[in-house]
Structure 1
């Protein structure tokens, strides 16, 4: 892909949380907007008025039912989606900028998101993650957390 000026592509700013419990299980959400359901980290697009921290706290609540507290910024990752791989009809590629935090549950009850981009939330043993059909942010996040 040739170099593009930043006005020639779309950017999606998103924030994700790595939430691990005391039983070495990680919180994942089943993303349903791709060509097939795949597991992802809880999180997603940050709204214009939100900070990354506010966005990830909101997204985890929406997707899992849990209230979380951010413990640490783990890192920032970016990924380019060519126009032909986008879920909308466009000729513009997209750069996904993904901020990853470590967070812990401080309240709420596990539940599934209703009418959203995910339809199941689940605690998954860390040892089982590699056997799941998952999106790249899972491996990126676990690597940033020193767990993968």
Structure 2
């Protein structure tokens, strides 16, 4: 079990901090992975991400990731398994929006396969500019969100079993 970061308050109850639920997909095509280009939304450095993002309140995580993948890549996908559940904590000063509240980010990563659609971002005015099939071998040298490494590590671990 990892050590608890001493900078994180230990006296907060679940209603004293925000929780963000997000779902992402690892979609492979031989030696390529489908990634989406996150534009940084004007406040962060842009970089590659797995297709996915925040799950809307009325959605299940599965519905959320299917919607996000469609918006960001143009593809319809079928989920083939749950690869990872990842969680991290952000201090108020590290959050994108000004706030005095801590946040827990809970991210589910699914494996998926393309079943329809055409490559092309459908999101207009959003955080994703485009999506591309990227050779896995080139991923380590790319600017990317941590969720890419989380997803690919989980995919590799599953592929070995």
Give per-residue Cα distances to partners, 1:5-57, cap 9 Å, x unaligned: 111110000000000013x1000011122511111100001111111111100
- TM-score, normalized by length of structure 1? 0.95
Q: What does residue 133 of structure 2 align with?
A: 123
| Match status 1:16 vs 2:29 | no
- How many residue pairs match? The answer is 147
Aligned alpha-carbon RMSD (Å): 1.4
Runs of at least 5 residues in structure 2 that lack an aligned partner in the other structure: 1-7
Identify which range, 134-143 or 26-35, moves more after superposition.
Answer: 26-35
Q: What does residue 141 of structure 1 align with?
A: 151
Q: Which runs of 4+ in 1 moved over 3 A?
A: none
Q: Highest Rg: 1 or 2?
A: 2
Q: What does residue 96 of structure 2 align with?
A: 87
Q: What is the aligned counterpart of 1:7 among 15, 21, 27?
A: 15
Give per-residue Cα distances to partners, 1:78-136, cap 9 Å, x unaligned: 01111111110101111110000000000000002321111111110000000001111
- TM-score, normalized by length of structure 2? 0.87
Runs of at least 5 residues in structure 1 that lack an aligned partner in the other structure: none
